[in-house]
Amino acid sequence: MKDSSHAPANQGKFTDPAVTADGSARATVALSKPETLWFNTGTLCNITCANCYIESSPSNDALVYLTSADIAPYLDQLEERQWKVREIGFTGGEPFMNPQMIDMARAALERGYEVLILTNAMLPMMRPKVRAGLTALNAEFPGQMTLRVSMDHWDRTRHDAERGAGSFDKTLKGMDFLRDEGIPMAVAGRALWHESDAGAREGYRALFEQRGYPIDASNPGQCVLFPEMDLSAEVPEITTACWGILDKAPDSVMCASSRMVVKRKGADRPVVLACTLLAYDKQFELGETLEQAERDVALNHPHCAKFCVLGGASCSV
């Protein structure tokens, strides 16, 4: 590993999809067990977070709103390609800024899929029409839809440092609504403050208990703690030998089980990406159809190493 004080982080690394900087065979991952198909509903968001991995904001429309008409062909292709996914995920931006979010969720639920919606649970979700839509979906498809709320930290001050003053209380108001309506929810936090996993989970546990949220802070599926995504950090490349060294299987990596559909600004049609985390890196764009997206993915990005292989993160519940 190079000394990052004398050279830019990862200099010479992650340049060739076939080999690493030292000439070793780069690890690749096959779509071996498709479980989740993600739809990015658009990068517009009601807030600007300090460390947003996809740079969502009130002005970033690099990924435009998807529509029900956009997602229907992919739901058809899931059946045609026999992917047998269990879950349809919706992410953004803030999904509830998309005027067709409730309709898109319904389309997936009606086909029998579990639905996971990532949200900050703030004002876009709390509009009367959206709340009515969520309540109706939960009544019609009980236990089939989960909202995963982004809560950067269990502490108000730290959360607001990432998301802006007052955002913590607005998120709690949204979570109170989900609690009162009996809509299943989970939480996604960030490991930015160098506290232990156990310490962070204890903080969330106390908050959930105080507010009466039915979330198990000890369950990584219900309380997800994502590692920091820092492109300035030095990380190792993942070679084919790493699987044995790390005692880790390729099918444990996110791109073995999921793909994401996005529509770029100015594009005629959506495309399928290998990963939810790398929306702007064209090497992870696999084509316009699920059939084209079945090819192997080269782990040719620092996030592949730190976030997925070494961090062991997953975007699903």
What's the number of domains the chain is made of?
A: 1
Reported confidence tier of residue 218, pLDDT bands at 50, 70, 90: very high
Answer yes or no: is 316 within a domain: no
Residue 1 buriedness (CB in 10 A; 0-12 / 13-18 / 19+): exposed
In a domain, 162, yes or no: yes
Using pLDDT thresholds of 50, 70 and 90, give the confidence band for residue 65.
very high
Residue 22 included in any domain: no
- My answer on whether omega of the bond before 143 falls inside 30° of 0, hence cis, is no
Has residue 293 been placed in a domain?
yes
- Is 60 exceeded by the pLDDT of residue 52? yes
User: Which residue, among 122, 139, 146, has the nearest Cα to 49 in the 3D structure?
Assistant: 122
- Residue 1 resides in a domain: no
- Does 317 score more than 90 pLDDT? no
pLDDT at 312 over 60: no
Please tell me the least confidently modeled range out of 3-12, 115-124, 224-233: 3-12
Please report, rounded to a whole number, the percentage of residues in the chain having pLDDT higher than 70: 94
The answer to the question of residue 289 being in a domain is: yes
pLDDT at 235 over 90: no
Decide if 219 contacts 257 (C-beta within 8 A): no
Asked if residue 69 is part of any domain, the answer here is yes
- Is 2 a residue whose pLDDT tops 70? no
Highest mean pLDDT out of 1-5, 122-126, 300-304: 122-126
Cβ pair 295, 272 in contact under 8 A: no
Q: pLDDT for 253-295, tens place per residue?
A: 999 999 999 999 999 999 999 999 899 999 999 999 999 999 9
For 22-26, 109-113, 123-127, 311-315, which range has the lowest pLDDT when averaged over its residues?
A: 311-315
> How confident is the model over 84-94, as a mean pLDDT?
97
pLDDT in the model for residue 307: 80
SS (H, E, C) the chain: CCCCCCCCCCCCCCCCCCECCCCCEECEECCCCCCEEEEECCCECCCCCCCCCCCCECCCCCECCCCHHHHHHHHHHHHHHCCCCCEEEEECCCHHHCCCHHHHHHHHHHCCCEEEEEECCCHHHHCHHHHHHHHHHHHHCCCCEEEEEECCCCCHHHHHHHHCCCHHHHHHHHHHHHHHHCCCEEEEEEECCCCCHHHHHHHHHHHHHHHCCCCCCCCCCCEEEEECCCCCCCCCCCECCHHHHHCCCHHHCHHHCEEEEECECCCCCCEEECCCCCCCCHHHEEECCCCHHHCCEECCCHHHHHHHHHCCCCCCC
Tokens describing residue 88: 């349809």
Question: Residue 313 and residue 146: Cα distance in Å, rounded?
Answer: 19
What is the pLDDT confidence band of residue 5, given thresholds at 50, 70 and 90?
Answer: very low
Q: Which domain covers residue 143, as residue numbers?
A: 31-236+251-310
pLDDT-derived band at 230 (thresholds 50, 70, 90) equals low
Closest CA to 152 of 187, 117, 118, 194: 187
Q: How far is CA 276 from CA 262, 263, 284, in A?
A: 10, 13, 10
Residue 155: give its domain's CATH number: 3.20.20.70
Q: Is residue 86 part of a domain?
A: yes
Query: What's the confidence (pLDDT) of residue 262?
Result: 98
Q: What is the mean pLDDT of residues 104-127?
A: 98
**Tens digit of each residue's pLDDT (9 = 90 or more) over 130-174:** 999 999 999 999 999 999 999 999 999 999 999 999 999 999 999
